[in-house]
Amino acid sequence: MKAFLIDRYGKNTGRIGEAPAPTVGAEDVLIEVHASSVNVLDSKIRKGEFKLILPYAFPLILGNDLAGVVVEVGSQVTRFKPGDHVYARPPEARIGTFAQLIAVNQNAIALKPANTSMAQAASIPLVALTAWQVLVETAQLKQGQKVLIHAGSGGVGSLAIQLAKHLGAFVATTTSTRNVEWVKALGADLVIDYTQQNFERVLHDYDLVLNSLGADVLEQSLKVLKPGGQLISISGPPTAQFAQEQGLSWPLQQIMRLLSLGIRRKARKQNVSYGFVFMRANGAQLQHITALIEAGIIKPVVDRCFDFESTAEALQYVEQGRAKGKVVVTLN
């Protein structure tokens, strides 16, 4: 089968080549991939930023999102059958959606929303599950609370705004001048144009900040939280708790404790908490998201589609950080 592979870590590595078809385990579903979206995570994996946490073998097929059609199921699969239209974020140990076929554990899969195209469906799993696991599972965001979602025009931000509004929160977000009206249309109540305003001088007494940006923004975000508030980052630094949940070695747990020590100390001084969320595959949560999409509560946001032969170009486009919503690669 055709796949987009890397043979080593590096910023501009990657090639389209032949790869063996995946082996289908007893609880696996073999999916013909029709579309896959490109995430910042793909770029970080390609550069080797997660090699301590996720020790992949080469050649490695990249890709963390998919929509497609079931072509075969393992002997213990009970939830899906050949011909089903599905979407998923595969478990992190078995990524590889930039390929014609992929085998995914049935617990990571959900039926594709009926009111979406394959390209739209492929744009959803990773960012929607990230938003769900931060806002619903970790923060337990409640009606009437105030949340700041950084980078509102990005993949995670554009979905998180919609989900937070559905949960009844007051939503502030940051974006550039050209996207102010666009993120308001997604549901943001208050938009900070970071080219003209400092968010930490405008916003006060927030219950939650979802951070997807760098260390400088992470630290400034502490200033907008009220006592008891939560700062949750999806871009790091990781914590020892995360390392334990991943089953990483004791030395790696200590490294991650040290990496997050500074921000955790500053958070404690302000009587707020710091947490790191690394999204994980979850088909049951994706089913909840499917229901919200089919009800029109959450709408997929696709900036641009590339054909499979242009996967390297799609990665480069995402790395520029200017996409509004998601970037999708189509295979069929």
Closest by CA to 225, choosing from 285, 269, 179, is: 269
CATH number at residue 172: 3.40.50.720
Q: Give the number of domains in the chain.
A: 2
CATH number at residue 72: 3.90.180.10
208-247, pLDDT tens digit by residue? 999 999 989 999 999 999 999 999 999 989 998 888 888 8
Q: Looking at the structure, do residues 133 and 116 belong to the same domain, yes or no? A: no
In the block, tokens 């080593």 appear at 8
What's this model's pTM, rounded to 2 decimal places?
0.96
What amino acid occupies position 197? Answer: Q
What amino acid occupies position 298? Answer: I
248-294, pLDDT tens digit by residue? 899 989 999 999 999 999 999 999 999 999 999 999 999 999 999 99
Give the residue ranges of DSSP H helices in 48-189: 118-122, 125-132, 155-166, 180-186
Q: Looking at the structure, do residues 203 and 221 belong to the same domain, yes or no? A: yes
Domain boundary among 241, 261, 276: 276
Give the percent of the chain with pLDDT over 90.
92
Q: Which structural domain, as residue segments, surrounds residue 247?
A: 126-276
91: preceding bond cis by omega (within 30 degrees): no
